[in-house]
Amino acid sequence: MQLHLIDRQTASERGIKHFFTGVPCKHGHIALRYTRCGECLECHAARLKKWRAKNKGHIDAYNARYQAANPDYFRSFHQRCHLKSMASKRRRRRMIENGTLKVSDPVWQAYERERWKHLRQLARQYEEWTGITFEVDHIVPVVDENVCGLHWHGNWQLIPMRLNRRKRGVINHEVAV
Ligand SMILES: [Zn+2]
């Protein structure tokens, strides 16, 4: 657990949107909770997922309409991201084959998922407390000309978004080694 403790009242007084006590919610999640309504982030996500499933027809229709109205956006997105995305898929398949990425091991999966979730929440706390946007960064980039990092906890760190953007695509071998 890496999140910082802040009770609801303090958060409310300081105008911070989320608080965290470390006490599980009624569904057993240990997560950030909204200062305004007290709902935990994971319950909120679950509720949203349920709502999306229930309104699937409506959402699909909306998306189809949006795509039809903005064909250029989707065409250029495909052009920008297709090669990267194919490279990443190929690498993922290779890693699964040689056993680096244990995607079929449920314990490993759960462990990684929890760590990722908490890092994302910690980023949110940093952002609310400092006003600087943080994000989880891959220390060695996953998609790069020279190197190929892995998506696992040993390769994750929290850094300010602006630094992360500047870092993009400029790794050299001294950093990578
Ligand atoms: Zn919950």
- Taking only the tens place, the pLDDT of each residue in 94-131 is 888 887 777 778 888 888 888 898 899 999 999 999 98
Q: Does 164 share its domain with 125?
A: yes
| Residue 125 CA to ligand 1 centre (angstroms) | 18
Contact 176, 170 (CB under 8 A): no
- Residue 64: inside a domain, yes or no? no
Task: State the pLDDT at residue 170.
Answer: 55
- Residue 47: inside a domain, yes or no? yes
State the burial class of residue 89 (Cβ atoms within 10 Å of its Cβ: 0-12, 13-18, 19+).
Answer: exposed
Contact 41, 32 (CB under 8 A): yes
| Residue 114 CA to ligand 1 centre (angstroms) | 14
- Residue 61: inside a domain, yes or no? no
- Taking only the tens place, the pLDDT of each residue in 6-64 is 999 999 999 999 999 999 999 999 999 999 999 999 999 999 999 999 999 999 999 99
Q: Does 109 share its domain with 176?
A: yes
Q: Does 49 share its domain with 11?
A: yes
Element (DSSP H or E) covering residue 152: none
Domain extent for 30: 1-56
- Residue 63: inside a domain, yes or no? no
Band of pLDDT at residue 172, cut at 50, 70 and 90:
low
Q: What's the predicted TM-score (pTM) here?
A: 0.66
Name the nearest CA neighbour of 132 among 158, 153, 167, 155: 158
Task: State the pLDDT at residue 45.
Answer: 94
User: What pairs with residue 116 in β-bridges?
Assistant: none
Q: Does 97 share its domain with 150?
A: no
pLDDT beyond 90 at 89 = no
| Residue 93 CA to ligand 1 centre (angstroms) | 34
Q: Does 20 share its domain with 35?
A: yes
Task: State the pLDDT at residue 23.
Answer: 93
Q: Which of 61-70, 100-109, 150-159 has the lowest mean pLDDT?
A: 100-109
User: What does the DSSP assignment read for 103-136?
Assistant: TT-HHHHHHHHHHHHHHHHHHHHHHHHHS--EEE
- Residue 112: inside a domain, yes or no? yes
| Residue 133 CA to ligand 1 centre (angstroms) | 25
pLDDT beyond 90 at 150 = no
Band of pLDDT at residue 171, cut at 50, 70 and 90:
low
Q: Does 22 share its domain with 37?
A: yes
Contact 149, 140 (CB under 8 A): yes
Q: Does 92 share its domain with 107?
A: no
Q: Does 75 share its domain with 34?
A: no
Total number of domains in the chain: 3
Q: At what angle do helices 41-54 and 56-69 cross, to 10 degrees?
A: 80
Residue range 83-94: mean pLDDT, rounded: 82
